Chains A and B, each alone.
Chain A
């Protein structure tokens, strides 16, 4: 299995909702990443987990809360988002932090 899967593909949520994005990989990779991507721009790094521990938090607002329950799974919990948080959220994994990254297809999030 050489892919990174993300669910859901699309998500529409109100500003008071709580939702979660899920990312999974079974390549034995020990680093996992969350990125936010706005239209026509490169991905912006949000969080990096290395060996299931949070390694990098790029000053992301606390309304985004990452979780890495095990080495294959990465979640992003969303609460009280703003319309400007609408974007494509990409998950990626790599063998180790800093190695070549494999991206999932993304979750298209719309905050209303």
Chain B
């Protein structure tokens, strides 16, 4: 059974602080690593897709890095705002069948 693990499970951060969390995955047969932002009662929204070891992607205050050799990705949020409150899901695509294997998510709560 393939596991994509995210930590921490939940995180409370003061508004204005920066934060980061982790996605760990098996490094064999790696194809791509996805990050999605999911607000309760809405559909997941794609943030990044990364394929190459050492990839770094950025969208506004949110950025992500990828290490395929050791099997982890970090998501960083700089200067957290209340609207960043959501669950951040990572998902792995392997080259065997290209389906997404989802992590359980990190629930981020920004305190005003």
Q: Do A and B bind each other?
A: yes
Q: Which residue of A lies closest to B46 (CB)?
A: A100
Binding site for B on A (CB under 8 A): 40-43, 45, 48, 55-56, 90, 97-106
Q: Closest A residue to B103 by CB, please name it.
A: A42
B98 A104 Cβ-Cβ under 8 A: no
Residues of B within 8 A of A (CB): 31-32, 34, 38, 40, 42-46, 49, 89, 93, 97-100, 102-105
| Partner among B46, B98, B104 whose Cβ is within 8 Å of the Cβ of A97 | B98
Main secondary structure of the interface of A (DSSP, over half): loop
A55 CB to closest chain B CB (Å) equals 8
Residue contact B49 to A105, C-beta cutoff 8 Å: no
Residue of B nearest to A91 (CB): B43
Chain B contacts for A56, CB-based, 8 A: 97, 99
Residues of A within 8 A of B100 (CB): 45, 98, 101
Q: Give the most central of B31, B46, B103: most A CB within 10 Å.
A: B46
